[in-house]
Homo-oligomer: A and B are copies of this chain.
Amino acid sequence: MKPQPTDPRPHILVLGAGFAGLEFCLAMRGRDDLRITLVDRQNHHLFQPLLYQVASAGLAAPEIAHPVRSVFSDQENVSVLMDEVRAIDLKERRVTLADRVVSYDYLVIGLGVKTGYFGHAEWENHAIGLKNLHDATEIRRRILLAFERAEMCEDPEEKRRLMTVAIVGGGPTGVELAGAFAELVRHVLRRDFRSIDTNEAHVVLVEAAPRLLTMYDEDLSEYTRQKLESMGVQVLTGAPVQNVREKAVELPDRTIDAENIIWAAGIEAVPLTRTLGVETDPAGRLIVETDLSLPGHPEVFAVGDIAHCIDQAGVRVPGLCPAAIQMGKHAAKVIRDDLKKRHRRKADAYPVRPQFRYFDKGSMATIGRSAAVATSAGMKFQGFLAWLMWLFIHLLFLVGFRNKVAVLLQWFYAYVRYRRGARIITGVRGDS
């Protein structure tokens, strides 16, 4: 059922098979009066919230990735293309991919964000981000290799540097990474090495703001700091990064020598957004109307992290999975509504549309295997209860696949077997 150029059905082109793009397509199930082409440069959807677990050797890469094709294997109106977006021509309503040019009636942009270095592109060479599976397996490889080298190292200073991991950015990703690395080193690697004392291993978490997890209340930030410190993490707040160079992070009052530097401090949209001739925010995100369409382009939607959206209630929609899922669903609703009212309207006139309203289900960050912080419905949680919430709610609500239960079981299984983990170092080319 390949889309034909002569197919009379409206053609919706969806860019990106992240949470927003996937949910958009799933929300169009059964609509045989339209056809959807879903483009992603990977063949898999990535469960980003657990990416840090791959980086810290808790999970294998395939365990948090799911082939996009199999999500839609029984949804006939979706065609999946593995291809890369090169250019978007809003005027001509067509998108240039690496292998072909595709025209659309509706365009849904859900390309997500990438690691941003606050304009210091050169820092990227010294501090790796964590946005895709390659990043994650590369971090895993580098950190495990550093310990192997420390085991053989005779020079105490060099040894200390090899055993230091610096994480820049005290948001949820930075906190989760710091906790996971602390556990990896203290509980998992401790018994494996003979000549190094893994108690000397050093995980440093650096944050420019005066506290961690600034989106939460101060007491949760304080709990997080205390918990991380009890796990052996050195937490440096109010410490803006001045410079990043080869194996060193420069702060105003000190320099951290670290074999591995992980950047979890900033994101920015793909450069493509600035070429569209529409308004973007400083991070390059597309500023959308409250119906999620681009101003002046009612046939084009931006959903997920790539959208800068102030919702109907005046709330700035955060870059979280539940928000991406809600945005994907909303864009689908708007288009279904459009098509329903189509016979009543003139060509190129769009009906009045439903406005997006973000429903805050709460958010959470896990610190370790039995500690987390969470907020939901105005309530705050911390410790083991929050961790249980993380385990069940986080996993259960975020997975929108048919095989929800299978995937959940798999992750849960993978999670409980954590101590064995996926701590294999694979070839220089980072295979695994």
Which residues of A are interface residues toward B (Cβ below 8 A)?
A: 1-2, 42-44, 60-63, 65-67, 69-70, 73-74, 79-83, 99-100, 132-134, 137-138, 144-145, 148, 151-152, 191-195, 403, 406, 410, 413, 417, 420-427, 429-432
Contact = CB atoms under 8 A, between A and B. Distances in A.
A407 B382 CA distance: 34
A350 to B, nearest CB: 30
Contact of A144 (B43, B99, B194, B422): B43
Contact of A99 (B152, B413, B429): B152
Taken together, the copies of this chain in the complex come to: 2
A429 B432 contact: no
A193 B430 CA distance: 28
A44 B100 CA distance: 42
A148 B82 contact: yes
Contacts of A191: 70, 73-74
Q: Which of A132, A134, A193 has the most CB of B within 10 A?
A: A134
Closest 3 CB pairs of A and B: A62-B422, A69-B192, A60-B60
Contacts of A70: 191-192, 420
Contacts of A422: 60, 62
A132 B427 CA distance: 10
B2 A195 contact: yes
A136 to B, nearest CB: 8
A426 B1 CA distance: 27
Contact of A134 (B62, B406, B417, B427): B427
Contacts of A44: 424-425
B403 A420 contact: yes
A372 B417 CA distance: 31
Nearest to A136: B431
Contact of A425 (B42, B144, B194): B42
Contacts of A152: 81, 83, 99-100
Residue among A65, A66, A81 having the largest count of chain B Cβ atoms under 10 Å:
A65
25 contacts: A1-B194, A43-B148, A60-B60, A60-B62, A60-B63, A60-B422, A61-B426, A61-B431, A62-B421, A62-B424, A66-B424, A67-B423, A67-B424, A69-B193, A81-B151, A81-B152, A99-B152, A133-B424, A133-B427, A133-B431, A134-B429, A137-B431, A137-B432, A138-B431, A431-B431
A4 to B, nearest CB: 11
A187 to B, nearest CB: 12
Contacts of A1: 194-195
Contact of A431 (B100, B134, B194, B403): B134
Contacts of A43: 144, 148, 423-425
Given A144-B43, A426-B133, A432 B73 contact: no
B61 A424 contact: yes
Nearest to A1: B194
Q: Among A42, A133, A194, which residue has the most Cβ atoms of chain B within 10 A?
A: A194
A426 B141 CA distance: 15
A44 to B, nearest CB: 4
Given A43-B148, A62-B60, A429 B426 contact: no
A406 B420 CA distance: 9
A61 B427 CA distance: 12
A197 to B, nearest CB: 12
Contacts of A421: 62
A52 B251 CA distance: 49
Contact of A67 (B69, B79, B138, B192): B192
Which of A132, A145, A432 lies at the interface centre, i.e. has the most chain B CB atoms within 10 A of its CB?
A: A432
Contacts of A2: 194-195
Which of the listed residues A61, A100, A417, A431 has the most CB atoms from chain B within 10 Å of its own CB?
A431
A79 B194 contact: yes
Contacts of A81: 151-152
A137 B426 CA distance: 10
